[in-house]
Structure 1
Amino acid sequence: MLEILAITGPIFLLIGTGFAAVRSGLLERAGIRPLGTFVVNFALPAMLFKTMAERRLDEALHWDMVIAYGLGSLLMVALTLAFTRFVQRRDLLTGAVFSMGTAMANSSFVGFPIALQLFGPQAGAALAAYAVVESVVMFPLLYVLGDAAASGRQPLPVLLRSIVERLVKNPFLLSLAAGAAWAAGGVALPAPIGRAVGMLASTSAPVALFCIGGTLAGLSLKGMGSDLGLLVAGKLLVHPLAVFVAMQAFPVADPQMKTAVLLNAAMPMMSMYPILGLRYGREGICAAAVFAATLCSFFTISAALWLIGVGAG
């Protein structure tokens, strides 16, 4: 148990530090957004570039992870849509927004720092796989579904063009492509560039966790019990089960990476979930879900680590 706390403790202490900084007034909540922008546009892309550039292409991106994680996440979308539409009898837009919460994990801000402690440099390769799934498959799919459900807010050609434009500007995909191109050249990174990129990449985990805490400060959960229960249980419990089912059909070869895939699916939903919800007027429930899932994840992540054998000895 102490070994589990040694892994989860620093994660939630950094989240708590960000929370306390904003709640105490030491940092204005508006100051969190630039920090998050730094992580998403610079620190994490630097880490992904370094991961790809310093390895052979067949080592840097595990396609068995991409397939298993992608299929498990798509299965979670199908389950969420089926439950909201046929059991709760709610509209397609609700199903689409809820699917964004249950099927897309916070791979960058919570999953990566935990994986870094467990798997070391392999955590970067794992994050590269999740970035491909979430950026190329999940986000475009759910974006199209949400806008299609929102009374045809945009013509389909306009919507598709918007998605393509977002993809070609996505810093994760750009850094993956740049790293892959460098690796294909077979030339080692010059030492000064490698050190600079490494220094930038090393800031990603702590700053990301601090941002999560600052974002959570001031959110309220009142009057959202049933929806929060669906979103939190779906993300923290059902999503990893869906990924586990997918891996029975499409196994991940490396046992360590198999553990990494399951563990990442058990992370809370992505921190930008409220921003996606804002597009459809559902930012309140989305923000509350991020808050509740992040709090609950302290216990569920600890339980997941115990189940995979961390601290068993």
Structure 2
Amino acid sequence: MLGLIEIVLPVFLIVGAGYAATRAKLFSDPAADGLMVFTQGFAIPCLLFAALARLDLGAVFDWRLLVSFYTGAAICFALGVVGARVIFKRRPGESVAVGFGALFSNSVLLGLPIMERAYGTDALAANFAIIAIHAPFCYLLGITTMEIVRADGKGAGHTVKAVGRAMFRNSLMIGLALGFAVNLSGVELPSPLWAAVDLMVRAALPAALFGLGGILTRYTLSAQIPQAAMVGVLSLIVHPSIAWGLSVHVFDLPIEFVRAAVVTAAMAPGVNTYVFANLYDRAKGVAASAVLLSTALSVLSVSVWLWALSTL
């Protein structure tokens, strides 16, 4: 177990370094914003582009892998909504915002570096298959549910169109789409262009982790810790448990698919949890607390899941 913690710990040490540097005013808030703009607007899209362009789509886009991951995501979303509504007596719209935290895993900023540390770069192919539809699936499910349960707003059609436009103008989605286009078209890109893309890729994850630490300084653990803890249990324990059960016992997937499904499912809620809550002005304190608390707890929980995977 100690060896597994040593695999996970460097990832969180970089996040912690960004957090500490920003807290100590050695790294300013505008600098953290700039770093996240660089990584999420340029470096990570290059990473996703390169991965999708070079991916053997027929080998990794297995419907059983996607069902193993997204069934657990949808179930945890439903449990989060019901738990917030029944146990914590939140209003319907607030309950959806709480449930979204259990739906949206930090599949890129945490999932990719942890998988790479644990299993090597060659193990990331199945992760990219999951990531390719992660944002569209989660946002469409969250938005549709929010518009059904809340009484205000401009209606589902207007909101879905607005957020759909925002998603497909998003640089991460553009990187994925361009990667698919190059892969399916068979276009050969010039080697200097690939060399430039690969240089950007090498900067993507460490810089993103450091920037994530800076962004986390803006979140605080509020008085709604029990609700944040519920989201953490769903994200860090229930979701990967469902992914494990389906990928191992129902579909008997190859070990590389099992690892991708379980490790990605075991990630803490991503910062999009707060973005969604802020979009609707619902349960923002719970969302912020869930991101911060779950990210801290995942140092241990991810190590446990890596140990469990080593027994297969």
2:263 matched residue in structure 1: 263
Residue matched to 2:306: 305
- Most deviating of 7-16 and 154-163: 154-163
Equivalent residues of 1:66, 1:132 under 8 A apart: no
Q: TM-score of the superposition, structure 2-length normalised?
A: 0.90
Residue 91 to residue 308, structure 1, CA distance change in 2 (3 Å): same
Partner of 1:231: 231
> Could you tell me which residue of structure 2 aligns to residue 278 of structure 1?
278
Q: How far apart are the structure 2 equivalents of 1:252 and 1:75? A: 21
Superimposed CA distance per residue, residues 88-120 of structure 1 (whole angstroms, 9 cap, x where no aligned partner) = 443321221112111211011111111112233
Distance 1:102 1:187, change over 3 A: same
Residue 284 of structure 1 aligns to which amino acid in structure 2?
G
Q: In the aligned structure 2, how far is the partner of 1:217 from the partner of 1:28? A: 11
How far residue 53 of structure 1 moved from its aligned partner, in angstroms, is 1.5
Give runs of aligned pairs for residues 211-230 of structure 1, distance below 5 A: 211-217=211-217, 219-230=219-230
Paired residue for 1:119?
119
Structure 1 gap segments, 5+ residues each: none
Return the offset for 1:75. Answer: 1.6
Residue 26 (structure 1) shift: 1.0
- Cα distance in 2 between the residues matched to 1:40 and 1:218: 18
Tell me, in whole angstroms, the C-alpha distance in 1 between the residues paired with 2:280 and 2:162: 16
SS of equivalent residue, structure 1 residue 308 = helix
Q: Quote the Cα distance in structure 2 between the aligned partners of 1:250 and 1:132.
A: 23
Q: For the Cα contact (< 8 Å) 2:147–2:155, is it kept in 1? A: no
**SS of the residue 1:109 aligns to:** coil
Are the counterparts in 1 of residues 231 and 290 from structure 2 also a CA contact under 8 Å? yes
Aligned to 2:137: 137
Q: Which position in structure 2 is the counterpart of 1:160?
A: 160
Identity of aligned residues (%): 25
Q: CA 1:152 to 1:12, structure 2 compared with 1: closer, same or farther past 3 Å?
A: same
Match of 1:209 in 2: 209
User: Does the aligned pair in 2 maintain the 1:68–1:252 contact within 8 Å?
Assistant: no
Tell me what 2:83 maps to. 83
How many residue pairs are counted as aligned between the two chains?
311
Q: TM-score, normalized by length of structure 1?
A: 0.90
Q: Contact between 1:228 and 1:289, CA under 8 Å: does it hold in 2?
A: yes
Shift of 1:86: 4.0
Range that drifts further, 135-144 or 212-221: 212-221
Any gaps of 5 or more consecutive residues in structure 2?
A: none
Alpha-carbon contact 2:229-2:293 (below 8 Å) kept: no
Q: Which amino acid aligns with 2:232?
A: V
CA, structure 1 residues 203+7, in 2 after alignment: closer, same or farther (shift >3 Å)? same
CA offsets 1:95-153 (integer angstroms, 9 cap, x no match): 21112111211011111111112233345423322323322211111023224434231
Identify the range of structure 1 (81-90 vs 50-59) with the bigger mean alpha-carbon deviation.
Answer: 81-90
- Name the aligned partner's letter for residue 299 of structure 1: L
CA gap of 1:20–1:30, structure 2 versus 1, over 3 A, is: same
Letter of the 1:47 counterpart? L
Cα distance in 2 for residues equivalent to 1:48 and 1:64: 22
Q: Residue 99 in 1 paired to residue 88 in 2?
A: no
Deviating more after overlay: 29-38 vs 68-77: 29-38
CA contact (8 A) 1:18 1:210 kept: yes
- Structure 1 residues 106, 249: CA separation in 2 closer, same or farther (over 3 Å shift)? same
How far the C-alpha of 1:2 sits from its partner, in A, is: 4.2
The Cα shift of 1:263 comes to 1.1
| Contact residue 39 and residue 208 of structure 2 kept, 8 A | yes
